[in-house]
Structure 1
Amino acid sequence: MQRPSILKFLKNKFSAYVIACAFLISAVFAGISVGTIHVPFRDIAFLLSHHMFGTSIANVDPMFDNIVWQIRFPRVLLAGLVGASLAVAGAAFQGLLRNPLADPYTLGVSSGASAGAVLVLFLHFQLPWIADFTLPVVSIAAALATIGLVIMFARAIERSLKVETIILTGIIVSSFLGALISLMIALTGEELRQIIGWLLGSVSMRGWGYIQLIVPFFLVGTLLLFLHAAELNAMSFGEEMAQHLGVNVRRKKMLILLSGAILTGAAVAVSGTIGFVGLVVPHFIRIIWGPDHRHLLPLSMLTGAGFLILTDLLSRTVISPTELPIGVITSIIGAPVFGVILLRKQRKGRRTA
């Protein structure tokens, strides 16, 4: 009797948001608290309240103020924004293409964003008028150009733009861009360490400036996808069904792909290449709480944010004081988890067959 009641609680959508929010808040406090110098949760709450609402911090050690507000909180916030961006983009791509293997990496979007960012680092150039925004703007532009190239190539192969064709085209384009990145690395001199470190993925030593870079793109991308949750639900049943329901499939497909590219490009621009977040997190949420994108997208956002915060915490503490690249940790965790998910799904399919 107890087990069904627990399952019923977990399946409830209100409970889902409570669990996801509690997970994110716990991850934020753990990410700020744990380190060379331990900061108590109570002091973290007082300091965050002070900087956000102007409350008193008379009983808090002044040393903690700089540690929390200038070092750890920006890092935790950036990790959360990157994780949320990748998870939401992955959820949208999986729903749009009706394939659990679809994510920003299999579609080539991340490779495009990476190629654009590496080009900026390689050539050391800044665009006029936008200066510090050069890296994310070029990265996002490259991501958009990549998704455009994938769609053009897929349409040339098959005008109906079948899911399998788009994914295979994305893999081809991703492989080509990976070769270009390798070429730039081979031609690099003193910038080699910087580019390699960036490609492995990290949110270390990023301050409030990086948060200012990603926030506008994060808000635009997530808002557009949230507004198209109903269309994603319709298209997840097939394009013909969506058309019968009154959805302008071609226009909405392009808009969803562009929104995902914006999120991916901005995330890659500030953190480098971080894999498996957009693949595993939405799939995990879909298994537990269902495929309704009205809930899948926000739950993926919350869970993806908390997941990457904890992953970053692990990357900087597992062999402290040395930091591991966060992209390495997500791959080590994500690959076997996704393998288990696929294995369970295959076994379930055999039972029902």
Structure 2
Amino acid sequence: MTLMSILAQPTNGTVRRRNSIVVLIIACAIAVIISVSTGSVPIAPNRVLSVIAERILPWSISTTATDVETRIIWEFRLPRALLGFIVGASLAVAGAVLQSLVRNPLADPFVFGISSGASVTAVATLTLGIGVMSTVTVPIAAFGGALAATLTVFLLAQRRGRVTPGRLILAGVAMSYLLSSVTSYLVLRASAPGQGVSQVLSWLSGSLAAADWGDLGIPALVLGVATLVLVLLSRILNALLIGDETAASLGVDVGHFRLVMFVITSLLVGVVVAVSGAIGFVGLVVPHAVRMFVGSDHRWVLPISALAGGLLLVVVDIAARLIIAPSELPVGLLTAAIGAPFFLWMLKRSSRGEA
């Protein structure tokens, strides 16, 4: 891979990439409709569409769904499906950025300790009774924890004023283990009734079950703005794939740029961890798969990763509700079941010098 092949942004394959975006948009829409239709009370897709159309299109024909079906669709299942898309997209975009910053396909928010930082402060808020409005305090705490963990990793990775990708990964793994142990201690400490242990355990496994419309606004805004900013900075991310020296030769302050990227990824991860809990491996699997299909140009990698990540989590959430119906599995357990073998496969490839 040469400098010109990355920075020149060639037109070869552009049609395929655009077609990929169109196909993914259609697939995401279909997956959301199927997700809303699926559950202990099955609802026909045409009724789902009629309810959505009636709510967002004032001139549409009145819905054919019953009042109970309308409430199920609009108040419970549609927010859940949309939150699944937002969470998956955010984690995939964050993973794509982290992998480019350290030039390592094994990087993701969990490896860097970002998710662990968000988790430990959110769990502390839930178990220690910090604040009475968890809808406000948990998101703020999660973002603060993610940012603090990221900045700590960034400082630990510095050597003689420079940050190397290898040291970043080592510092991130160490931070992740440390914060995970703190989270475990907080859960064990909160053993008395009324301290939210069951809520914390469900949250740590990753779940979309409690989603409502109030959970969507901030994560959706952060996802949209962050992705737009990252796409505008895609040429610098492309240059970093070659090396820090190449980016510096283009006039980029690599250390400052990397720090800004870590803050953006912390924001992406923190706001979604606050509403969905810890959902792993999406940020690892999706960007790597996308690069295998569309190449390394971040103008395409970022938006396609967002769509593919959102699609993956919506589909996994459908499976989580069907496998042991009428009960459901935490969605984080299924993403781990998918991602762990993928991680081991990538690790094996890396050890052979193929990745």
User: What's the secondary structure of 1:106's corresponding residue?
Assistant: coil
> Following the alignment from structure 2 to structure 1, what is the Cα–Cα distance between the partners of residues 32 and 290?
20
Query: Could you say which structure has the higher helix fraction?
Result: 1
Output aligned runs, 1:167-186, within 5 Å.
167-186=169-188
Q: Which residue of 1 aligns with 2:152?
A: 149
Number of residue-to-residue matches in the alignment: 340
Output aligned runs, 1:263-282, within 5 Å.
263-282=268-287
The code of the aligned residue for 1:183 comes to Y
> Following the alignment from structure 2 to structure 1, what is the Cα–Cα distance between the partners of residues 350 and 117?
31
Change in CA separation of 1:258 and 1:318 when aligned onto 2, cut-off 3 Å: same
For the Cα contact (< 8 Å) 1:222–1:259, is it kept in 2? no
User: What's the secondary structure of 2:65's corresponding residue?
Assistant: coil
Match for 2:130 among 99, 110, 125?
A: 125
TM-score of the two chains, using structure 2 as the length reference? 0.90
Match for 1:37 among 21, 25, 41?
A: 41
Match for 2:79 among 74, 77, 87?
A: 74
Change in CA separation of 1:345 and 1:46 when aligned onto 2, cut-off 3 Å: farther
Change in CA separation of 1:307 and 1:231 when aligned onto 2, cut-off 3 Å: same
User: What's the secondary structure of 1:337's corresponding residue?
Assistant: helix
For the Cα contact (< 8 Å) 1:11–1:289, is it kept in 2? no
Q: Is 2:17 the partner of 1:26?
A: no
Cα shift at 1:133: 2.0
Q: Which residue of 2 aligns with 1:231?
A: 236
For the Cα contact (< 8 Å) 2:88–2:309, is it kept in 1? yes
Q: Is 2:219 the partner of 1:219?
A: no
Deviations 1:49-97 (A, max 9, x none): 1111222224333332111111110000111111011000000100111
The code of the aligned residue for 1:148 comes to L
RMSD: 2.2
Runs of at least 5 residues in structure 1 that lack an aligned partner in the other structure = 1-7
For the Cα contact (< 8 Å) 2:286–2:308, is it kept in 1? yes
TM-score of the two chains, using structure 1 as the length reference? 0.90
Deviations 1:20-39 (A, max 9, x none): 21221221111111222222
Runs of at least 5 residues in structure 2 that lack an aligned partner in the other structure = 1-11
Q: Which residue of 2 aligns with 1:92?
A: 97
> Following the alignment from structure 1 to structure 2, what is the Cα–Cα distance between the partners of residues 58 and 321?
27
The code of the aligned residue for 2:309 comes to G
Deviations 1:250-276 (A, max 9, x none): 222111111001000111111111010
Deviates more, 1:90-99 or 1:34-43: 34-43
For the Cα contact (< 8 Å) 2:95–2:108, is it kept in 1? yes
> Following the alignment from structure 1 to structure 2, what is the Cα–Cα distance between the partners of residues 69 and 278?
29
The code of the aligned residue for 1:120 comes to T
> Following the alignment from structure 1 to structure 2, what is the Cα–Cα distance between the partners of residues 163 and 58?
55
Q: Which residue of 1 aligns with 2:4?
A: none
Cα shift at 1:342: 5.2
> Following the alignment from structure 2 to structure 1, what is the Cα–Cα distance between the partners of residues 134 and 39?
34
The code of the aligned residue for 1:178 comes to S
Deviates more, 1:341-350 or 1:240-249: 341-350
Output aligned runs, 1:320-331, within 5 Å.
320-331=325-336
> Following the alignment from structure 1 to structure 2, what is the Cα–Cα distance between the partners of residues 43 and 344?
47
The code of the aligned residue for 1:196 comes to L
> Following the alignment from structure 1 to structure 2, what is the Cα–Cα distance between the partners of residues 131 and 188?
16
Match for 1:243 among 237, 248, 272?
A: 248
> Following the alignment from structure 1 to structure 2, what is the Cα–Cα distance between the partners of residues 111 and 308?
20
The code of the aligned residue for 2:139 comes to P
User: What's the secondary structure of 1:146's corresponding residue?
Assistant: helix
Q: Is 2:140 the partner of 1:137?
A: yes
> Following the alignment from structure 2 to structure 1, what is the Cα–Cα distance between the partners of residues 197 and 183?
12
> Following the alignment from structure 1 to structure 2, what is the Cα–Cα distance between the partners of residues 321 and 289?
39
For the Cα contact (< 8 Å) 2:47–2:63, is it kept in 1? no
For the Cα contact (< 8 Å) 1:86–1:278, is it kept in 2? yes
Change in CA separation of 1:10 and 1:30 when aligned onto 2, cut-off 3 Å: farther
For the Cα contact (< 8 Å) 1:158–1:165, is it kept in 2? no
Q: Which residue of 2 aligns with 1:13?
A: 17
Q: Which residue of 1 aligns with 2:116?
A: 111
> Following the alignment from structure 1 to structure 2, what is the Cα–Cα distance between the partners of residues 294 and 9?
13
The code of the aligned residue for 1:182 comes to S
Change in CA separation of 1:13 and 1:326 when aligned onto 2, cut-off 3 Å: same
Deviates more, 1:296-305 or 1:39-48: 39-48
Cα shift at 1:158: 4.9
> Following the alignment from structure 1 to structure 2, what is the Cα–Cα distance between the partners of residues 63 and 329?
30
Change in CA separation of 1:177 and 1:59 when aligned onto 2, cut-off 3 Å: closer
> Following the alignment from structure 1 to structure 2, what is the Cα–Cα distance between the partners of residues 11 and 100?
26
Q: Which residue of 2 aligns with 1:5?
A: none
> Following the alignment from structure 2 to structure 1, what is the Cα–Cα distance between the partners of residues 56 and 292?
37
